[in-house]
Structure 1
């Protein structure tokens, strides 16, 4: 009986050793496969690096060719190794050229950063207010912004297939119940901007004083999507205003509510053709923002 027990223990020990050997073999095979995979990936990376080096060298050659100085023009009387003499410049001429170079550098720097119009041309370009996409809209719903007490978030119908999201800073000026279903005048081609985490896709136009804001209203009978125009400005609106051109900011300074409560630009009424003019509800002789 004891002999049988010893034989069973030996058999069990044998099987344990075999299991351990199989595990080691499986691990070895897995590491070999991983090593092969890494070798293949390394080879691909080396090829990518070589391609990038070639591309970089090609670009450097092209850049050097573009920046190479032009050959010096020789007069017939000069020898093959002589260079045409450059007449001396006067100090005044040198200063003018250095100032011109500085002006070009400043223009490039301003254009790259978007902080200023090149060479101060902003005041020289005629502002065409018809490039603003001003439309009649209906505020479908509005609620308080969850992250800002002074903001409303809502949806507005401006005559498109789907409503636009609107964020407005009117919570301290217009009661929430007066926002619901209200007709309004909106600027629709500003670049959408995020306000406290919500993307606003339009801007309400309001009569504005230091103490008060009041939503501009379209004429009776106007419907969402009707374009608001100004007599004498018949162009088509931009698809989206370029923020660097600051067209809205330069136009807004001449938008006003006159002493009769009519919204105007340079004294001409904002109107919906065939319907009438846009107005403030109670305010007059104030700015439009």
Structure 2
């Protein structure tokens, strides 16, 4: 009976020993041919134990750095910086120089309310011109040698209204009377019948988008002027297209055909 109990205990211990051996196999990596752990290079097996003397130290697997969450104020700064950048790009896109053509000129119908000789220049007239605004504009024109003073009074004309104001013999001129001009003769352009002060002059195919004030350095008018001509019938044109007041007719010179407009 006693011997039977001893055998049972021995078998139980043998089973426990086998379990312990299997457990140790799982915890201790098997050596490779080069004496390096079978784990991948530079890696450690999870929960691997290293022996230091008689003590055991658990080696934890490497943990990747968690992403650092940005602070609310940092996110706001980043969003604001991005918004400013987008607006800057948008501003650059919308600030591109428009094409240089007659659409950049503010051409309007005006009526010369009063004209008189310039006190300090024999070749100049001083005019008060109604161009459809609250008050008349002062205009200085070098037309004394070409148009009699009496023909200036109450006359309808076409004026360039977005030239930069400039002083002429001490008087600031705020527009320019457009004329057909040859070496021997100058005629004020005539708007179509039925026109009133403030009517806008258009050229088909060239959308009207005048500068607020023409920049003298960009020489917009100087670039456009060579293509402003009267045709064979005396009609004022830009690159062959008539200058017109929509619904009323075309702008023309009384007698001068095939000449430049200034």
Q: Which of the five TM-score ranges fits, normalised by the shorter chain?
A: 0.5 to 0.7
Q: For 1:274 and 1:260, how far apart are their aligned partners in 2?
A: 20
- Deviations 1:217-269 (CA, angstroms, capped at 9, x unpaired): 00000100000010001142111111111000100011001110100000000
The corresponding residue for 1:227 is: 200
Aligned to 1:252: 225
Q: Deviations over 1:88-130 (max 9, x none)?
A: xxxxxxxxxxxxxxxxxxxxxxxxxxxxxxxxxxxx9842211
Q: State the superposition RMSD in angstroms.
A: 1.3
| From 178, 186, 195, the counterpart of 2:159 | 186
Q: Which residues of structure 1 form unaligned runs of 5+?
A: 1-123
Could you tell me which residue of structure 1 aligns to residue 257 of structure 2? 284
* Counterpart in the other structure of 2:242: 269
Matched, 1:196 2:176: no
The aligned residue for residue 39 of structure 2 is none
Deviating beyond 3 angstroms after TM superposition, the runs of 4 or more aligned structure 1 residues are: none
The structure number with the bigger radius of gyration is 2
* Structure 2 stretches lacking a partner, 5+ long: 1-96
Matched, 1:164 2:103: no
The question of 1:175 aligning with 2:143 is answered no
Aligned counterparts, 1:7-156, within 5 A: 126-156=99-129
CA contact (8 A) 2:202 2:208 kept: no
Contact 2:116/2:149, CA 8 A, preserved across alignment:
yes
Distance of aligned partners of 1:232 and 1:146 in 2 relative to their CA distance in 1, 3 Å threshold: same
Structure 1 length as normaliser, TM-score? Answer: 0.56
The TM-score with structure 2 as length reference comes to: 0.62
Aligned to 2:190: 217
In terms of fraction of residues, the more strand-rich structure is 2
TM-superposed CA distance for 1:212, in Å, is: 1.0
SS in 1 for 2:203: coil
- Choose between structure 1 and 2: higher helix proportion: 1
Residues 25-48 of structure 1 show CA distances to partners (whole Å, capped at 9, x for unaligned) of xxxxxxxxxxxxxxxxxxxxxxxx
- Cα distance change, pair 221–286 in 1 and its aligned pair in 2 (3 A): same
Q: CA deviation at 1:154?
A: 1.2
Partner deviation per Cα, 1:160-219 (whole Å, 9 max, x = no partner): 000000100000000000000000000000000100001000000000001111000000
